[in-house]
Structure 1
């Protein structure tokens, strides 16, 4: 579904490198971060459309990081990735705003499907935001016209 700006946040270097290589070959613009601090710097700099976020990292848990990302950057879609999948984590991630959840090691098809869903969600969010802005502008124009006709 087109080219996306993707940020991979994972403490495992091999996972970051292999995933970044694969996504780059698929035509995406990819950056990677090994920690939460590095991730927030990169989010500000690269403005990703989609983040692939490891659930378990040293220092900060992925669900906590997910919450912070969605609070500060609600338009970014997040795919949670973990080698330790359990039902509770999946439920918590989705409730926290994740658009999808992949288990490590992920196969190419699983990654592509998750990215397609995230890209569609990102596009729909952009369209909704644009429609809301147009609606607000039309409401203002209508209000101004009513004022003039009084």
Structure 2
């Protein structure tokens, strides 16, 4: 039997279009067109994924997110929004509210088959983890560095998402709920120094660890701390150092240091 996705969308036409995209990715689609209908279906069966339109009739779905979470049990949640996907730095209230509500995925409209494929793959990855884990976002334009940090963190059972830039992190559909962020300071685009403020506006309560290999400019590390990073690491660093800083950032008692 294929995994089943429950799609909450008040437009029956739009619901069928979205359902077809998931079915092409191996999911069976089920539909609800009101909150009460969705909650009734969630009470009667389990789903592998819950896809909710942010506006259903006159309701904002995010206002009822905790009710959906309880009803959906461990199923990840994707929110469909009309956010400004082509303007990530401008952002949108709906996108940021969805992120701050800690939904697993965003689907800014219009989305396509490849977008849905990303979410289906990540939903399956989450399902295989079998239980809640801390999610770490690594932002670094060095692909080799991302591989190394990912291996360090996954050995300790962290869930790791990757991005090559701040801009990429803001539009990646599968990067929504994170518990800590590891960010390089020198990158193409807006880079990490400016990016810290952008990231903090998107995930205001998520601890951020800065890192850089350009240690001839120590003021970069100081700037990162002054802009909100909880700690700053000089590359290269060992697995033990990284894990220590991540665990410290995730703890209640954070000590800021270089």
Work out which structure has the larger RCO, using CA pairs closer than 8 Å and 6 or more positions apart in sequence: 1
State the structure with more CA Rg: 2
Give the secondary structure class of the aligned counterpart of 1:123. Answer: helix
Length, aligned pairs only: 127
Preserved contact between residue 22 and residue 116 of structure 2 (Cα < 8 Å)? no
TM-aligned CA distance change 1:84 to 1:57, over 3 Å: farther
Structural mapping, 1:42-81, within 5 Å: 42-81=41-80
1:95 and 2:139 aligned: no
Instruction: Encode CA deviations 1:59-89: one digit per residue, 9 max, x unaligned.
Output: 4211023221123434110010022455332
Q: Aligned to 1:118, which of 123, 127, 152?
A: 123
Preserved contact between residue 6 and residue 29 of structure 1 (Cα < 8 Å)? yes
Gaps of 5+ in 1: 130-150
Structural mapping, 1:1-150, within 5 Å: 3-85=2-84, 86-124=91-129, 126-127=130-131
Bigger helix fraction: 1
What's the offset of the Cα at 1:36?
A: 0.4
Preserved contact between residue 4 and residue 119 of structure 1 (Cα < 8 Å)? no
Give the secondary structure class of the aligned counterpart of 2:47. Answer: coil
Instruction: Encode CA deviations 1:8-33: one digit per residue, 9 max, x unaligned.
Output: 00111111111222322432121010
Normalized against structure 2, the TM-score is what?
Answer: 0.44
d(CA) in 2 for partners of 1:20, 1:5: 10
d(CA) in 1 for partners of 2:99, 2:127: 15
